[in-house]
Amino acid sequence: MGKVLSANLGYPRIGEKREWKKALEQFWTGNLSKDVFLNTVRKLRLSYLKKQKQIGVDLIPVGDFSLYDHVLDTAVLFGLIPKRFQTGEKEISLETYFSIARGNKNAEASEMTKWFNTNYHYIVPEISNDTLPYITHNRLLDLFIEAKEELGLITKPVILGPITLLKLSKGYDAAHFSTLLDELLPLYVRVLNELREAGAEWVQIDEPILVKEQTNEDLAAFSRAYQVIKDGVPGLKLLLQTYFEAVDDYQAAVRLPVDGIGLDFVYGKEANLSAIRTFGFPEDKVLAAGVIDGRNIWKTNLAATLDELQTLLSAVKYHEKLWVTPSSSLLHVPVTVSNESELDPLLLNALSFADEKLSEIVTLAKGLNESAAAVDGAIQKSISDLKALQQSAHRNNQEVEKELAQLSSELPARPSSYQLRQQIQADTFNLPPLPTTTIGSFPQTKEVRQARRHLRRGEWNEEKYEQFIKDETAKWIQIQEEIGIDVLVHGEFERNDMVEYFGEKLGGFAFTRFGWVQSYGSRCVKPPLIFGDVSWGAPMTVKMSAYAQSLTDKPVKGMLTGPVTIYNWSFVRNDISQADVFNQIALALKKEVHALEEADIRMIQVDEPALREGLPLKEAKKPVYLHDAVYAFRLATSFVNNDTQIHTHMCYSEFDEIIDTIDALDTDVISIEAARSHGEIISTFEDFKYKKGIGLGVYDIHSPRIPSTEEMKSYAERALKVLDPKVVWINPDCGLKTRRPEETIPALKHMVKAAHEVRNELSNRVSK
């Protein structure tokens, strides 16, 4: 009898203590030479492989490691370089690679957007109709040989598939898709043949786009593409990997000419299981069963999961035709629980990060290959650990349960229409046309980070820390006034992260020390754990907002993170519905909004940058999610007075399909990015006549370059072709915490100058 194999789909890049991030940033600032940098990341990469081997994983991936982003890696591999970054070099230099992602003094960075419905961001490949793909350098081959020679491992190379690569790209006409695919396929064949010749046995080709609705034309393209690849690479086994949802076109997918299919049995569990029960599974293929949650951090109930795997084993008939895998790459979870020494054991025992998930996978494979009795200790521990948390007081807060029970099914509503509110607020604030503001945060300098560290280590007391924060706030209020910004912010110097800060002050949250995950590039976030019922205890933001307002006659916005973003940027309990968690958070934020209003903060920004990213991938599931998101936002904000102006902010999302939802939030002002997408978002408003306030993000804060006044004016002028000047605001496209003061201040000066120039042009037009 053959053996069920344990397999990983992808491992976190960042290191247990963000060693990868630190090396990247030192290289970018010139504090690490190229050779030292490359050697550092090489050691990290090999250590990740070694660890997976020690855990006992049978099939370990390579190619999942990246210096920035795996989509960018694939685009660069095939020579899909934006024209503004082309230098004539065949092998793309590290400098060009990072310029595409981050921009440089001469060119804007490529667009960045969400990776499906996750909080990971990828660099959007840019392809024109006349692009001719070519192989720059077979990086996958290097990585495969490195693992083989250094560690004696025959790994499983991972590459983003051609259909997903093209579907996620921009710049070419839809009619040109087939031609581009025909040009790419021989290049994939060549890359894979070189891997086969080097000794690779399996290659994982990721096609997550397959879980989205496919047309007959799409399915035909899949069939054609994989027939070309299979015919061109005899002897190499191909695993077609999907994740994040179920495959709608199951029968078409399992007929594809590949040797294995990877399916998600966590987020696509019901539909994928139903398809297998109804249609069976091909005897000539391997089923890579994604039964361990690759996107959340809870321990798996090993007893229930082993039962599910027994069902799948019956469907595939032979042990060697089943692999146990995570539901997706483990890129989306922290590295290991082993460094968390400060958590309540009740919670700690219920957690499973990347390393622990791999151990669970190895345990389940052993249970299938030997018997459940062989892993009974691990099974019983998983059950008891999860049960202890479920029965704890953290998940049985009667006051929160009572508040939820009293909620009406009707959408909460503002006291008056937007038209009336707009007039009242215009009289209240007396702002100029095209008012300028920022999104909320200002640079978190080395001194700010050190102050937080001093407090955490007990080197400073609360009084000294608070005075430091007040001094920083006062400094930046003065800077904003000198620049000439119309609506100010306090800068958020007291906040480590826009979600973590609130989680630290709300009940039901917990925090890790090293639970970091990659968001984009070197930007890592440490999501809170929503493990219990969420509750509000005392004002969280009033003191600093009120202090900032006392320093100026200009309005200062109170700054909150919205309920859906707090949910989507946290690791969330999975024992109650998403709507219930949304509403628990919203009820807590409602009390904070009320406290700000009581303190005479008349502009309150409740940010929802993650609303779009949580949108389900299946059309049938979207309406419920969007309704629940709108309900929660309005639950938190709709009770305020007409002269309190509610703002929100969203970034790096495709808004077209949720513009009705954005309108339904009924905010007074929404700010969006316009620069990173090179103004493309503005086209959304050509079709949808948005009549509420809208702030245009006229420069990309994720790039160190300082855009010119003319560049920012161009975005504003384009927007004014489709938007009423009375509703338009001018702002950066996101918070400025990651930028340095010497980048931030000149850019804001250019932004204000651009607003003034466009404002004057509008005034001259009216006077004529």
Q: Is 634 annotated among the ligand-binding residues?
A: no
Q: Closest Cα to residue 387, out of 307, 299, 508, 326?
A: 299
At residue 447, φ and ψ (nearest 5 deg) are: -65, -40
Active-site entry in 647, 702, 750, 756: 702
Token output for 98: 């990072």
Q: Is 212 annotated among the ligand-binding residues?
A: no
Sheet holding 529-536, edge to edge: 506-510, 529-536, 571-572
Calpha distance 349→352 (Å, rounded): 8
Calpha distance 595→591 (Å, rounded): 6
Q: Is 607 annotated among the ligand-binding residues?
A: yes
Token output for 131: 């692009």
Calpha distance 277→489 (Å, rounded): 56
Q: Is 649 annotated among the ligand-binding residues?
A: yes
Q: Is 693 annotated among the ligand-binding residues?
A: no
Cα distances (angstroms) measured from residue 492 to each of 292, 439, 486, 744: 37, 11, 18, 15
Q: Is 108 annotated among the ligand-binding residues?
A: no
Q: Is 196 annotated among the ligand-binding residues?
A: no
Q: Is 441 annotated among the ligand-binding residues?
A: yes
At residue 98, φ and ψ (nearest 5 deg) are: -70, -30
At residue 126, φ and ψ (nearest 5 deg) are: -110, 120
Q: Is 19 annotated among the ligand-binding residues?
A: yes
Q: Is 440 annotated among the ligand-binding residues?
A: yes
Calpha distance 140→234 (Å, rounded): 18
> 730 has which bridge partners?
436, 696
Q: Closest Cα to residue 541, out of 482, 611, 492, 469?
A: 492
Calpha distance 677→121 (Å, rounded): 13
Q: Is 492 annotated among the ligand-binding residues?
A: yes
**How many residues can be counted in the chain?**
768
Q: Is 21 annotated among the ligand-binding residues?
A: yes
Q: Is 679 annotated among the ligand-binding residues?
A: no
Q: Is 702 a catalytic residue?
A: yes
Contact (CB, 8 A) for 358 and 52: yes
Q: Is 619 annotated among the ligand-binding residues?
A: no
Calpha distance 73→97 (Å, rounded): 8
Q: Closest Cα to residue 368, out of 321, 301, 330, 328?
A: 321
**String of b and e for 228-262 (b: at least 16 CB within 10 Å)?**
bbbeebeebbbbbbbbbbbbbbbebbbbbbbebbb
- Which run of H or of E encompasses 286? strand 286-292
**Within 10 A of 424 (CB to CB), how many other CB atoms are there?**
15
Calpha distance 415→421 (Å, rounded): 9
Calpha distance 229→163 (Å, rounded): 12
Q: Which residue has the tokens 């009940």?
A: 507
Calpha distance 720→177 (Å, rounded): 33
Please give the single-letter amino acid code of residue 280: G
Contact (CB, 8 A) for 630 and 657: no
Q: Is 729 annotated among the ligand-binding residues?
A: no
At residue 577, φ and ψ (nearest 5 deg) are: -70, 155
Q: Would you name the residues annotated as active-site residues?
A: 702
Binding residues for Zn(2+): 649, 651, 673, 734
Q: Residues comprising the binding site for 5-methyltetrahydropteroyltri-L-glutamate? A: 18-21, 114, 523-524, 569, 613
Positions at the binding site: 18-21, 114, 439-441, 492, 523-524, 569, 607, 613, 649, 651, 673, 734
Annotated binding site for L-homocysteine: which residue ranges?
439-441, 492, 607
